[in-house]
Amino acid sequence: MDDRVALITGGASGIGAALGRALAAQGTMVVLADRQAVGATEVAESIRRQGGRARGVALDVRDRDMFREIAEHTQRREGRIDLFFNNAGIGIGGEIADYDRAAWDDVLDVNVRGVAYGIDAVFPIMRAQRSGHIVNTASMAGLIGMGSMGSYTASKHAVVGLSKALRIEGRRHGVRVSALCPGVIRTPILHGGEYGGHVGRRLTRTNMERLVNRLRPMEPDRFAQLVLEDVEKNEPFIIVPRFWKAAWLLDRLAPRLTARLWDRLYSVALAELDAQERSAPKTVDSKETTKATVPGVRVGR
């Protein structure tokens, strides 16, 4: 039996929960941490019913002291931390001109500071062990740019850069580091999730689904299996679904062409939004139109 211990943030749903299930199926002891403490506990219970080892804990990644407490408690109780999936994140969609300070702060606090606090809590434990693997969840939005996702894109570029730097430093202490860059994964965050949000104009759920499906979303459990294969290979960048590697390569080789392609996709989304607004009944509450916006890459877990 696999005797490893994995700590996963954002473990109550989506990618975090899928990684937990996949690791537990291999015999790994899984600790699922999330602001949604009830959800994390329920996922852990479902894993145990399937014969796996798991527990759920409450964690707000914005709280540095709480993060340290969870990491240290995990190390004391389980004896070590072999895998750390620094996965919790949120997204607030919408055009940059529509963001207010709260929208910026919410995304940067979770997606950048939260990741940094996770490293601060777990990296010293792995350094002392002289082993371990940290997987920071970024996004394809951390490798390329997309409209209507300015704050999310900025935060995920930061996670990629941080991961590259930590990989260099960690190698000298026996600690591996990877940046996980998902493409479009079918998780609740595609429609806002528990803590995400939207600013500006709104697409209907039907139109959002149509746009998302054009990008061929992957089911999270299949995604998790492929991710773990690359973790075992110690890949510096883990890009799943695999076809998104072509988009990344194209962006590096022909950035102007890639920008035109993403501009085209964004224009299609805006055209659908314009058509929707023209056909909408005039009695629609204007406040409702600010609750959602154009989706792009998966915006969370």
| Residues with active-site annotation | 152
Backbone angles phi, psi at 61, to 5 degrees: -65, -15
Residue type at 162 in one-letter notation: L
CA distances from 267 to 7, 208, 210, 294 (A): 40, 14, 14, 10
Q: In DSSP terms, which residues pair with 181 in a beta bridge? A: 239
CA–CA distance, 62 with 68 (Å, rounded to integer): 11
State yes or no: cis peptide before 220, omega within 30 of 0.
no
**Which residues, in sequence order, are CB contacts of 288 under 8 Å at separation 6+?**
202
Structure tokens at 297: 């890459």
CA–CA distance, 113 with 73 (Å, rounded to integer): 21
